[in-house]
Amino acid sequence: MNDTTTEQEMILPAAPVSERRAAYAGEMDRVRAELAAAREQIARHEQTIHALRYEQITDGTDPRLATFWERAGEVADEENFCDEYDRLAEQMGGPRRTRDWDVEVDVTVTVRVLVTVSATDEDDAAEIAAEEVDLERVIDAARDNGYEQWETDVYSTHRA
């Protein structure tokens, strides 16, 4: 058996071994602390997941019930259980259903309309101008000058 070995020159690190061990130990402590924090976070998330999967839902606003409330609203509409659904949703904190409504609204708009007339005095001019105002002039004035006041009064409301 022929044993051939080559000798190589040993290259030593620039820093003493004891300094490297301190840095290594510090890095290991940091990694251990991060690992412990990650494990704690995982444990908290696992508790949350368990609660979401197995604990009873007691709040009607819980997002896990969104599909339930949507389907319940559809059934209420189809089966004419609207009043029952509304009472239940209100008691349990569920969402209120929206419905289409037809609403008749009386609208009073104040528009300043300039009318040029020929008259003998102010009273006569005012009377003639009042007679000259028609819907077309009001619409033109509103387009040109905007409006000064807008009032509404609901006349009637019924489901669409």
pLDDT digit string, tens, across residues 34-91: 999 999 999 999 999 998 888 888 788 888 889 999 999 999 989 999 889 999 999 9
Range of the domain at 71: 58-99
Same domain, 50 and 62: no
Confidence of residue 13 (pLDDT cuts 50, 70, 90): low
Residue 105 shares a structural domain with residue 155 = yes
Range from 24-28, 36-40, 118-122 carrying the lowest mean pLDDT: 24-28
Domain match, 111 and 77 both: no
Measured at the CA of 25, the angle between CA 24 and CA 30, to 5 degrees, comes to: 95
Greater confidence, 51 or 104? 104
Are the C-beta atoms of 79 and 129 separated by less than 8 Å?
no
Strands (E), 45-148: 101-110
CA distance 116 to 129: 7
pTM: 0.41
Q: Which two tokens stand for residue 70?
A: 């949507």
3-state SS class at 3: coil
117 is a domain residue: yes
- Residue 9 included in any domain: no
| In a domain? residue 8 | no
What is the predicted pLDDT for the residue at 99?
A: 80
154 and 125 assigned to the same domain: yes
Provide the percentage of residues in the chain whose pLDDT is more than 70. Answer: 86
